[in-house]
Structure 1
């Protein structure tokens, strides 16, 4: 890491990045282990109505795949770019995936 000395302790300016990476790692590990789903918050990065999928960015900066079938509600299920959502993170066939998505 540029500007960070790993000697004895991290400078304060490096802590948020390290904390962010730890949160993402914990999220990924919990989902991969198959434990109970990890409830988290995020923001819709993009969602394609025609194809029925998109991505949500977690508060930790991780992008998570979302399929329209994971959106809670009746009728046509879609997400608007920039919408704040709450969801469970589960391990999908190709990586982290959102489940039980609701607007927050």
Structure 2
């Protein structure tokens, strides 16, 4: 008669596999049973008049009418402002002499205007009061004929 060649480790592996299979079946049953209690109404989400998620339907009296023509898609077009004629006054916000450029804050419009070292009539530094004229450059307004106020 032949003896069984099963070792202890083989039996342990088979027990482990059977246990894993049983656990997998139990998890599957638990998943199936968890969704049975919810109805469609319980799973619904609504958006209130402020755009926030809510579990209650929105109040129809608070509904706002929106004109589709008022909805703006993309970036609004820039309206070109006519540049102020004559010399402007401003203060040097930043100037890097080694790189040769800086920015001036216009006193009237409070906008930052680029200035290059080639447009200076005399050397300037930060916090200097200057007068200048403006022209449109590739990336925006550029200061030209920049002079220190005396």
CA distance in 1, matches of 2:126, 2:88: 18
Of Structure 1 and Structure 2, which has the larger fraction of its residues in strand? Answer: 1
Superposition RMSD in Å: 1.8
Q: Does 1:65 align with 2:114?
A: yes
Equivalence map 1:77-92=2 (5 Å)? 78-92=123-137
Deviation at 1:38, TM superposition (A): 4.2
Higher radius of gyration, 1 or 2: 2
Q: Which residue of 2 aligns with 1:43?
A: 91
Question: 2:126 aligns to what SS in structure 1?
Answer: coil
2:59 match: none
Normalising by structure 1, report the TM-score. 0.60
Equivalent-residue separation in structure 1 for 2:143 and 2:85 (angstroms): 10
Alpha carbons 1:37, 1:90 under 8 Å: kept: no
Count of matched residue pairs = 69
Structure 2 length as normaliser, TM-score? 0.43
Matches within 5 A, 1:23-34: 29-31=81-83
State the distance in 2 between where 1:91 and 1:38 align.
15
